[in-house]
Amino acid sequence: MAGNSQPLTAPALRARKGTGSPIVAVTAYDAFHGQLLAEAGIDIALVGDSLGMVVQGHQTTLPVTLDEMVYHTRMVGRGTAGRVFLLADLPFGSYQSSPEEAVRSALRLVKEGGAQAVKLEGGKDYLRHVAAIVSSMIPVVGHLGLLPQRVHAMGGYRVAGRSPEEADRILREAKDLVDAGIFALVLEGIPRELAAGITREIPVPVIGIGAGPDTDGQVLVIHDLLGWTPEERRPRFARRFADGRGEALRALGDYSRAVKDRRFPTEEESFHSHAP
Catalytic residue among 188, 193, 231, 247: 188
pLDDT beyond 60 at 83: yes
Which pTM does this prediction carry? 0.95
**Quick one: angle between helices 127-135 and 164-180, nearest 10?**
20
Q: Where are the alpha helices (DSSP H) in 83-126?
A: 99-111
| The predicted structure's pLDDT at residue 67 | 98
Q: Where are the alpha helices (DSSP H) in the chain?
A: 10-14, 31-40, 51-54, 66-80, 99-111, 127-135, 151-154, 164-180, 192-201, 222-225, 244-260
Mean pLDDT within 215-230 = 97
* Inter-residue contact 242 to 226 (CB < 8 Å): yes
Residue 216 labelled as part of a binding site? no
Rounded to the nearest integer, the mean pLDDT of the chain is 95
Beta bridge partner(s), residue 145: 188
| The predicted structure's pLDDT at residue 7 | 76
Mean pLDDT within 133-141 = 98
Residue 89 labelled as part of a binding site? yes
| The predicted structure's pLDDT at residue 41 | 97
| The predicted structure's pLDDT at residue 1 | 44
Helix (H, G, I), strand (E, B) or coil at 96: coil
Residue 121 labelled as part of a binding site? yes
- Grade residue 153 by pLDDT with cuts at 50, 70 and 90: confident
Separation CA 19–CA 205 (nearest Å): 10
Separation CA 265–CA 128 (nearest Å): 61
Separation CA 206–CA 181 (nearest Å): 14
Q: Which domains does the chain have, with CATH numbers?
A: 10-243 (3.20.20.60)
User: Which of 94, 78, 57, 81 shows the shortest CA–CA distance to 223?
Assistant: 57
pLDDT beyond 90 at 266: yes
Active site (annotated) includes residue 100: no
Cα 255 from chain centre:
33
Helix (H, G, I), strand (E, B) or coil at 89: strand
> Residues 3-44: pLDDT tens digits?
555 679 999 999 999 999 999 999 999 999 999 999 999 999
User: Which of 42, 115, 118 shows the shortest CA–CA distance to 77?
Assistant: 115
Report percent pLDDT > 90 for the chain.
91
User: Which of 196, 174, 73 shows the shortest CA–CA distance to 122?
Assistant: 174
> Residues 95-136: pLDDT tens digits?
999 999 999 999 999 999 999 999 999 999 999 999 999 999
> Residues 230-249: pLDDT tens digits?
988 888 899 999 999 999 99
User: Which of 86, 98, 95 shows the shortest CA–CA distance to 66?
Assistant: 95
| The predicted structure's pLDDT at residue 154 | 78
Separation CA 268–CA 44 (nearest Å): 42
HSE-CB for 112 with a 13 A CA cutoff: 13
* Inter-residue contact 147 to 121 (CB < 8 Å): yes
Separation CA 2–CA 246 (nearest Å): 27
| The predicted structure's pLDDT at residue 157 | 87
| The predicted structure's pLDDT at residue 2 | 47
| The predicted structure's pLDDT at residue 38 | 98
Beta bridge partner(s), residue 187: 144, 208
| The predicted structure's pLDDT at residue 63 | 97
pLDDT beyond 90 at 276: no
| The predicted structure's pLDDT at residue 4 | 53
